[in-house]
Amino acid sequence: MRKNIAVIVAALTLALPALAASPTGPAPAFTLAARSGQDVSLAQYKGQVVMINFWASWCGPCRQEMPLLEGIYKKYNKMGFTMLKATPVSFPILYDRDSKVSKLYDVAGMPSTVIIDRSGKLRVLHRGYKPGDENEYLDSIRTLIRE
C-alpha cells in the first residue's frame, strides 16, 4: 500500500540556489538510483505529496538544513511521509550523478526545494536555505495533504 505523503530529496553533486521551473506546470518525470541500488521514479509516488530537495555535500546551507529535514521526516514518517537523500540520516537517498534531474528542474544552486502536489503539479519552488525555511516546507506539506 502506498503512503499518502512522500518526500524525495535527491542528492546532487554537480548542480548549483536558483530554481526556474514553473510552479504551475507538471513536475518533470525522472528515475534515479537510490543508495540501496534500486531505481526510484517520481511516478511511484503518484497521488502523494512529494518534496524534492536538491543539495550537495559541499554546500554549507545544505548541511545546516539536513538535520531539520531529518526532523520533519521523523515527525511525519509514521503518517506515511518518506524522504529520499547522502549523509548520516535515516531516510532514503537518491543520487543524480549526471545532474539530469537538476537540469529537468532548472536547478542553478544548492539547496533548492520543490514540492509537488498529488496531481503531479509543481506547487512550491524554494531557493536556498535560511533558518526558519523549514516552517514554510511544513506549511506547504500540511496544506497539500489536506487538498
Per-residue pLDDT reduced to its tens digit, 87-115: 557 766 788 888 899 988 888 888 998 88
Quote the pLDDT of residue 135.
92
What confidence tens digit (pLDDT) does each residue in 55-75 have? 888 889 988 988 888 888 787
33 close to 94: Cβ distance less than 8 angstroms: yes
pTM score: 0.79
Q: How far apart are CA 33 and CA 112, in angstroms?
A: 20
Dihedral sign of CA atoms 80, 123, 35, 88 in order = negative
Closest CA to 53 of 69, 41, 64: 69
Quote the pLDDT of residue 12.
36
Check whether 137 has a pLDDT greater than 80.
yes
Distances (CA, A) of 39 to 44, 48, 93, 143: 10, 18, 11, 29
